[in-house]
Structures are given as structure tokens and as C-alpha cells.
Amino acid sequence: MNQRKRQVLDSALQLFIEKGFHETSIQDILDKALISKGTFYNYFSSKVECFKSIMEQTRYEASLLRHEMLLNQDITDENLLLEQILVLMQINKKQNLVSLFENIFQSNDKELRHLLERYRLLEIEWVSNRFTDIFGEEVRPYSLELAILYFAMVHHLTYSHRIFYSEMIDQKKILQIALRNVKAIYPIMLENGDILITQDALQLVEEKKIYQSITKNDLIEKVQGFLDQLKLDTDNRVGTQFTESILDELQRKDLRLAVIETMLKPFREAFVNTPHAGENVELANLLWYFIKNGDQN
């Protein structure tokens, strides 16, 4: 993501939070970002597409941090899972997205509500997979339903505590209590074998298709393009060196995924608070996905 596009997204997000999504016009975004209408439509086909890009960038950031947290750690560590779940909550809070989400869910805009529901489903899917890491493969057929129950408990416990006591409870405590309850429920599910929502429902999640086709050659092209841009308009020597090193590893015949994996966290950190931070997060996220799931031929 180039600096200009990042500027547009930041301006749009600030306006969506201050004025509301529906009350913000494209002209408002043009004025705040100091761009032309042509520039806006070069990036986004509509205001909804602009909002979608904001959501995707948030997910990329959360996904990248979660991958980094797992590096060389015990994937069955329950506390680590809770910290990973908190990541997206903290990003949403930091960017003041919670009130914007509530406003959208209270509206009659079906397109936006469907978009948020889709991202919520992706989060449920991620937790479903992590439950399998925590509880073992035998829970996989039940893990999606368990993840749904988990988030239902988190949501309603948080909401009810605020209603009854007029204050917010520590979010991690809510997550811990909900996880405790899920641990009590899943042995009963295993014993009875009853499932309302099976893993087949995950086929409804279309987002995976974006990543499933990623190949080593695709990544080489993306990293090379990123490196070419860095050499043109930055003096970030450390960031450039990490980019060159990752490119060298991708171009090796004997691909060393473990080496690339160890470089990804410092690669991201080298671009924090720089004009290339957004593009770096997207690229690092693709690299993480490739390491875990990609076509490495």
C-alpha cells in the first residue's frame, strides 16, 4: 500500500468515526485527504470499498502480530491464545472502531452489515482453528460451534456487566471466563456427538480464496516491487536490508522457510511509523501465510 492510499484510508477512517459512515461523503474524504476524485476512484470503486480496505488493513495487522506471538512458542498455551484474541480487540479500540461498528449494526445498511458479519466470521474461524491447537484434533468437528459459543459468551458477559454495574470489566478476564466455560462444554459435546454447526459451514468463508493461490513466484514479484520502491524513495537502510535478505531466501532453490520466518518480525518492525508501514504489513502477512499454507514449489 503506497503512502497516498494510506493517507486516504486514514482520512476516511477519521471522518467515519467523527461523522458516521453514512454522514461522510466522498467529497468530505477528498477534502480531508487533499486528493482529487480521480485519485480516490483509482484506489476504490466506492465508499464501501474504502471502508472494506480499512477493515482488511486492520485484519492484516492483527494477523501479523498473532503470527509473531506464536513464533517459537507453545501453541497449546491458553494464555497465549487469550493474548492473541486481545490483539484485534486492542487494535479496534485504539482506532476507535467499536463505536463505528455499533453504528453500522444499528443501521439498515445490509451491505455494510454483511461486510462486518463476514469479518466476524473470519475471526470465529481463526479461533476455531486455535481451539484445535489447544484441545487436540479430536475437537476439530466441534471447534466451529465452540468458537461461536465462545464469542457469544464474551459478547453477552461484557454487555451484561456494563448494564448491571455501569462499568467495563477487564476484557482479558471476560476472555478467561469464557474459555473456562468452553473447556467445560466441549467434553460433553464429544461424549454426545451433537453438532448444530459443522465445519462444512466454513465453506461460506470466501476470504481464503485470496491467499490460496499465492505462489513463491508471486511473492518474489511482490517483494521485488517493494524493494524497487524502497530504493527510489527511502533511506531506511535496515528495512531495505531485511527486504533484500527475504528476497534472496525466496529465490533460493532450497527454500529455507525457517530462516524467512525468523526475519519477519524485525522486517515489520523496521517499517513501523514509516510511509511504507501499510504495504509492509500486507506483504509480511502474505509471507506468513505462504510459510504456513502456500505452494512452495
Q: Convert the pLDDT of each residue in 212-266 to its tens digit.
A: 567 888 899 999 999 998 888 778 889 999 999 999 999 998 889 889 999 998 9
What residues does 215 pair with on adjacent strands? 295
Contact 262, 186 (CB under 8 A): no
Domain boundary assignment for the chain: 52-208, 216-294
Give the pLDDT confidence score for residue 40 in this predicted structure: 92
Contact 28, 38 (CB under 8 A): no
Over residues 75-85, the pLDDT tens digits come to 999 999 999 99
Structure confidence at residue 203 as a pLDDT band (50, 70, 90): low
**What is the rounded distance in angstroms from the CA atom of residue 150 to the CA atom of residue 53?**
27
Is the pLDDT at 211 greater than 90, yes or no? no
pTM for this predicted structure: 0.79
Give the pLDDT confidence score for residue 69 in this predicted structure: 93
Helix (H, G, I), strand (E, B) or coil at 96: coil
**What is the rounded distance in angstroms from the CA atom of residue 206 to the CA atom of residue 244?**
33
Mean pLDDT for the chain overall: 87
Is the pLDDT at 204 greater than 60, yes or no? no
**What is the rounded distance in angstroms from the CA atom of residue 100 to the CA atom of residue 88?**
15
Over residues 95-112, the pLDDT tens digits come to 888 888 887 877 778 888
